[in-house]
Amino acid sequence: MIFDILFLPFVFFIGLVTSYEDIKYGKVRNKWIILGLSWGLLIIVFFFIWYFVASPITRYYHFEIQNLPDNSPVSVFTVSLGYLGRVVLNAIIAFMIAFLMWRSDAWAAGDAKLFTVYSLLIPFEYYWKSFLPYFPSFVLLINIFIPIFLYLLIRSIVYFLRFLYLKISQPRVTEKKKLFDKKKIGERLKSMGVMLLGFISIFLFFGLLQKPIKNSFNIDVSSLQMFIFAGFIIFSGSLAKIFQKAITFKIIIAFLFLMLAYGFSSFPSATWQILKQTIQNMIIFMIVLGLFRASIDFHILKTGSREIKIEELGPGMNLEETIISEIKKDGKYYYQHIGRIYPEGLTLEQAEFIKKWLKEKKKEVEIIKIYKPFPFVAWMFFGVVITLILKSSLFHLFLNLK
């Protein structure tokens, strides 16, 4: 298709350049974002205008310039306005999702903008095996995060095994430090319990109302289950904060009660079967997810940070959460001088105020820990390549292996 020729070279060029700069300099320059957005929007505007002028221009070329007979068949090439509209809608939704993920500290502003560029430039044909109406680029989102999760999981398992070996063979070498916070574990178990109830409600909804919705509105919602499931995995960190709120628990309980009441009154045997299967699957999923997140936290704690002197703290660095928590206890100072810290790191002013606070309040501290930069942009481009090769999501691929 024409969009392969027009868009894919830009996808690979921007992907390679931004990956190199992210690995070497730790940032994405806006000029590459502007280049991708400008090119994509220029092509869309061109084909929008071409749709209305293609016929007269084509006829003029064939009949006036080439002097073909008046009754000669002439083919007119255009791109449907519906397709162009879906491309724009997909890019808008991608921008909204990326913005929300940036606001929830899931990734940096440059990563969010780059995801929008990829969503605009990747043709829809590369999503067709797992196509999601209105937001096909959700496939790309899945293919970005699953390889990252698997990479971190494998690294954390390897390091954990090494850690156990050292602890058994050389007990004095290991740090006498509490690896897990009981309070955080309790909060996580609570949020996962609420998430479990939410999963049960959602799958009851799809199981009981899938056919009525399809018969009444001719909409097949079954394909949404996979994407909701993947969405829970990708956004589990941000969703955990939401699931800890009392209002969320009340809403989920009310929705679950309505689904159970409707199901047992209309389809008792089917409802019981769906409920039983969902609970079994979700308990297994929650255990795996819990172990997965615990291993990731362990990996970040033990290998994802490095020590620096307080004087070396500067813009673009990310402090370990324990230090931020200590400063937050001095609420007036924190909200007056530091405020929100975004994933792209500290600003120059924030770094200076943190150094000042540490020198005044923690005089005994000379060394602090910061998180090592993670080349997320390179992994994002890897997700793009996976999408172009598979024309589907990795999640969909794993399900088809059963």
User: What is the secondary structure of 196-242 as a DSSP string?
Assistant: HHHHHHHHHHHHHHHHHHHHHH----TTHHHHHHHHHHHTHHHHHHH
State the pLDDT confidence band at 43, using cuts at 50, 70 and 90. very high
Distances (CA, A) of 300 to 233, 373, 381: 18, 11, 23
Would you say the C-alpha torsion 295, 164, 376, 15 has a positive or negative sign? negative
Mean pLDDT, all residues of the chain: 81
- pTM here? 0.75
Q: Is the pLDDT of residue 350 over 80?
A: yes
- Provide mean pLDDT across the span 12-39: 93
Confidence of residue 176 (pLDDT cuts 50, 70, 90): very low
Distances (CA, A) of 271 to 196, 268, 363: 17, 5, 62
β-bridge mates for residue 306, sequence order: 370
Cα 138 from Cα 127, distance rounded (Å) = 9
**148, pLDDT greater than 80:** yes
* Torsion over CA: 324, 330, 331, 333 (sign): negative
DSSP state of 373: P
DSSP code for 372: P
Residue owning tokens 């390091």: 159
Beta bridge partners of 129: none
Higher pLDDT, 324 or 184: 324
Question: What pLDDT does 256 receive?
Answer: 87
How far is 195 from 104, CA to CA, in rounded Å? 18
**Spatial separation of the C-alpha atoms in residues 285 and 271, rounded to whole Å:** 20
pLDDT in tens, 112-134: 999 999 999 999 999 887 767 77
Q: Within its chain, how far is the Cα of 398 from the centroid?
A: 18
User: Do 127 and 136 meet the contact criterion of CB atoms below 8 Å apart?
Assistant: yes
Name the band, by pLDDT with cuts 50, 70 and 90, for residue 88.
Answer: very high
Q: Which one of 45-49, 107-111, 268-272 scores highest in mean pLDDT?
A: 45-49
The one-letter amino acid code at 43 reads: I
C-alpha separations of 163 from 171, 182, 251 in Å: 10, 21, 42
Query: Please, is 309 exposed, middle or buried when counting C-beta atoms within 10 Å of its C-beta (0-12, 13-18, 19+)?
Result: exposed
* Proportion of the chain above pLDDT 90, given as a percent: 21
Residue 369, helix vs strand vs coil: strand
Burial class (CB in 10 A: 0-12, 13-18, 19+), 89: middle
Q: Residue 74 to residues 48, 62, 66: CA-CA distances in angstroms?
A: 21, 8, 12
Q: What's the CA gap between 334 and 338, in Å, rounded?
A: 5
Reported as half-sphere exposure (CB side, CA atoms, 13 A), residue 212 has a value of 9
CA dist 255 and 187 (Å) reads: 23
Given a cut of 70, is residue 293 above it in pLDDT?
no
Q: DSSP letters along 74-89, please? A: -------HHHHHHHHH
| Helix segments in 29-74, DSSP class H | 30-60
